[in-house]
Structure 1
């Protein structure tokens, strides 16, 4: 730390208990009381340097007291500062540093230690040191600003606080590469004790070069929050980028909100300056005020703050019972960048007194609504097409597709909660637009888990829940699982089987089209190039193999249509059959037929793979059966 030496005499002050004595060989003729400390001094050194002391001594002498006693209750810095003032008046050696110059400057102003009472008085000395040394150095400016907390009123009157803040803001917003400052490392051999860079052994007052934009985050986090807020405001006025300001606020919050650093060693302070005037944030009220202020300071802009950190702030706000506006702002911030979140982030415990559910589903619902509203504003919410499970459309649809997958994963995690009501589960699942889900496998998984965890749901409630998913958007694996899922309503299983059959017919039709195109192209090549007899024989053989395969696939399709027709007839009989025993018999029959159908579909797929290439010219299929929507 930079310093300036004052005075030349040896120290003649001695302390005895709560009293200081100046051993000059002459008995003291004045006692100055400062707080709980007494200073036994002499009148002349004091009155020759201070206008206040001159008046007080004169008033005490008029009263006729042999040994004057003066009380100074309001001197900035208290007894410790007055000790330095007294030594300065006696010409004793002392050092001005960044840690004591603010106290001495304010005390000198309070005691009127101007040039009228002696050349090179304490006001001019401290002002010179502040302007020419302290404010030119990052570390010294920071330390001086920290000391302003104890005497903030005096420091503000003398503009010391403002000058320190502006000095720090200017240095934080300046690129050191522009000035070619010498490259040194913190604590290196070429660095002065005050943290300034040494150039040929001379202190330049410049901070060490560091290419990272966050080099000053840890230093300014040692300030009390009122001073820190003032520093941030000045930095913003100087045009420092919002992402840099947000990074500093994030660093400050992580340091003083213990809930955000559950796994961090709290008492590790060996590598940083201790905060002055802030202390440990042990009070919930202090932490709540700090969190609400940080929320007000953070810019409302997407991507400036990590999503995981915002979720941490939101959890902390709920624990500390922060204001509703603070919680709402944090939810809105998260909603703006929900596509960057993970399922683990969304799993926020329910801190309400009612404890209706294990996780705060209502909060996630509000966050999703904020995201969808922002997506509408940015024009991201527009229809798109789906081809083989892949989105085709505007790149702006990617975030909403990620959010749809995120919400489906979250629903699967909260579905086992027996206290999660069906309307709340449905509302969250239905909030995601249909076009944002290329596949409904994730939603089907969440619905299946919910049905398993809530076996008491009635048939109508199960059907209502299953309407959330589109059976046409299930993959082959999901269809296979759903066709054998006893928890699903019967009509949902029938729909799954029907659409699975439809997909099979579509695949077969595609094979026919490829076969016809292949046959035509071979004829064209044969007519143009005049292929050899051996090549023609090979083509005929391949065509025969493909024909056999297609005939076999056609037979399987006919069998599937018959099975579906039989199942429809059985379902229609359900309306006329009464009694539980009759229902059980029909259910058994349907169960056997479903399994038979699944096996047939799988055999047809294997047959298709074995007879993959060749040519065929068969006619169209018979008309496909479409089940009654009411079935």
Structure 2
């Protein structure tokens, strides 16, 4: 039987098909409804299908089905595409007792649980290629349910083996993914599926991981996959896709147990995110994740370069936000001391930065509570370096920097060095001397406290009526006052000697200037009084 070519179909501007209108409208309710009002019988009609799912390939499958009297070979390879195209063309009509294409594809998809892993992946890739047309279909959800359900099985292993790697290679080509030989050869029982799902876009990965979480899959495995997925996608993605991928991955990581998320992996994402245009919400979530594990960080993790145009070498504001996030959560004293030790290293590293403002330096030191540090020697060394680099600070600014120190937690060696340190304000040096003397006194009387405690103890002894003990305390108090007076006198004497030395130096300088001026005046007078030579 001959066929009439009275219908021209333009599919997505890719290809034009010349077909028999009568054959197509027999199976397609959409075309039948479209041509039902036409009275013209002659000539060729043209139909433009701008958003046909699957493009020319999908329409060709539809045409072959129609020309084959409603018969088609439906398999896992083409079931998704045929189903989506049949929905688009409304091919739900029964013709001469032959089931509609939509019915045939839906019946084939009922056997989805018997499909192989590779067939599921092929179908899933077709669904992704057919988006957003697949969004309104329940087929995508069926495929995802089957795929995640298999991964949720406790004894699931890779469907491929080294001997059957050739059978898996067919999907590698169809999914446009990179070679999986390096992963397949390891046959890890928990990570074998990682590279199989890398081809999925960020929206589908979001659906898949949320389903895996609901199926109680191991959070450590899921976090490892998300880090792997993000790195793999970055190899081929553009800036916009990188930003989208980062936002999805960070949001998914935040839904997992915090202890299952790698601290190093978070810092790797952070460094990449800083160069991308990701949302503020994404940055806040990422910093919260990192802050909760700050005790596991290393110095290299914190040494993040400052954004362009900020002036400082390192991103100090980021570290301050991470500290705030850490302190806002739950932590033990051991974790707090680990963070304090890390911060001492960080402060020593950023102290030589000439662009670091005093307020930022003090903020870094004061960010943690005083109980976090058993010793302030490291902070003092960093302060010494900072004041050496920032020699132009005023006395008040220097004193503000020094006020961040806890003198009572400085070692005797640090106190002695501080008292003689010319880079520090005199008030800081005096405080160091007083603290040193008080420390010596505490060592002599380990069960007592500073001067106020002595007075309190004396009153207690008076109440008890022990005159001998009160007399001993009076002598101790007198000795303390003598120590304080002698210390103050020594400081004043040193200050006066310094002033006298500076006066002497100024006098010497003035005399030298006067001598040079006199020589200059004499030389000028001699030059004017010389007679002119005759020619």
Secondary structure at the aligned position of 1:455 is classed as coil
Query: 1:253·1:291 contact (CA, 8 Å) conserved in 2?
Result: yes
**Structure 2 residue 403 is the aligned partner of structure 1 residue 424:** no
**Cα distance between partner residues in 2 of 1:471 and 1:149:** 64
**Cα distance between partner residues in 2 of 1:333 and 1:99:** 41
Residue 8 of structure 2, aligned match among 28, 32, 46: 32
Query: 1:246·1:304 contact (CA, 8 Å) conserved in 2?
Result: yes
Deviation at 1:345, TM superposition (A): 1.9
1:468 aligns to what?
A: 404
Residue 493 of structure 2, aligned match among 566, 573, 587: 573
Deviation at 1:403, TM superposition (A): 0.6
1:556 aligns to what?
A: none
1:142 aligns to what?
A: 121
Q: 1:301-333: CA deviations, max 9, x gaps?
A: 533322233334444444435443333333222
TM-score by length of 2: 0.70
Deviation at 1:347, TM superposition (A): 2.2
| Structure 2, unaligned runs of 5 or more | 173-183, 447-481, 506-535
**Cα distance between partner residues in 2 of 1:321 and 1:66:** 55
**Structure 2 residue 147 is the aligned partner of structure 1 residue 168:** yes
Q: 1:348-384: CA deviations, max 9, x gaps?
A: 333275x24332322322221222232xxx4x5xxxx
Residue 131 of structure 1, aligned match among 94, 97, 110: 110
Query: 1:50·1:117 contact (CA, 8 Å) conserved in 2?
Result: no
1:111 aligns to what?
A: 89
**Structure 2 residue 347 is the aligned partner of structure 1 residue 368:** no
**Structure 2 residue 384 is the aligned partner of structure 1 residue 448:** yes
Residue 101 of structure 1, aligned match among 70, 79, 83: 79
Secondary structure at the aligned position of 1:32 is classed as strand
Query: Structure 1 residues 248 and 482 mapped into 2: Cα distance closer, same or farther (>3 Å)?
Result: same
1:20 aligns to what?
A: none
Query: Structure 1 residues 416 and 78 mapped into 2: Cα distance closer, same or farther (>3 Å)?
Result: same
**Cα distance between partner residues in 1 of 2:207 and 2:358:** 50
RMSD of aligned alpha carbons:
4.3
1:236 aligns to what?
A: 213
Query: 2:254·2:289 contact (CA, 8 Å) conserved in 1?
Result: no
Secondary structure at the aligned position of 1:456 is classed as coil
Secondary structure at the aligned position of 2:7 is classed as strand
What is the correspondence of 1:139-288 to structure 2 with a 5 Å cutoff?
Answer: 139-152=118-131, 154-177=133-156, 184-185=161-162, 188=165, 193=170, 211-256=188-233, 258=234, 266=235, 280-283=237-240, 286-288=241-243
Deviation at 1:437, TM superposition (A): 1.5
Q: 1:255-304: CA deviations, max 9, x gaps?
A: 44x4xxxxxxx35xxxxxxxxxxxx3333xx5444434444433265333
What is the correspondence of 1:267-346 to structure 2 with a 5 Å cutoff?
Answer: 280-283=237-240, 286-299=241-254, 302-346=258-302
**Cα distance between partner residues in 2 of 1:361 and 1:431:** 12
Deviation at 1:413, TM superposition (A): 1.4
2:176 aligns to what?
A: none
| Structure 1, unaligned runs of 5 or more | 1-23, 196-206, 259-265, 268-279, 381-395, 511-561, 586-631
**Cα distance between partner residues in 1 of 2:325 and 2:186:** 42
Higher RCO structure (Cα 8 Å, ≥6 apart): 1
Deviation at 1:404, TM superposition (A): 0.6
Q: 1:26-81: CA deviations, max 9, x gaps?
A: 46443331324333344665455445556667766x42216565555554323221
**Structure 2 residue 66 is the aligned partner of structure 1 residue 89:** yes
**Cα distance between partner residues in 2 of 1:574 and 1:362:** 42
**Cα distance between partner residues in 1 of 2:500 and 2:74:** 98
**Cα distance between partner residues in 2 of 1:568 and 1:74:** 90
What is the correspondence of 1:345-384 to structure 2 with a 5 Å cutoff?
Answer: 345-351=301-307, 353=309, 355-374=310-329, 378=330, 380=331
Deviation at 1:338, TM superposition (A): 0.9
Query: Structure 1 residues 436 and 212 mapped into 2: Cα distance closer, same or farther (>3 Å)?
Result: farther
What is the correspondence of 1:497-512 to structure 2 with a 5 Å cutoff?
Answer: none
Secondary structure at the aligned position of 2:383 is classed as helix
What is the correspondence of 1:404-415 to structure 2 with a 5 Å cutoff?
Answer: 404-415=340-351
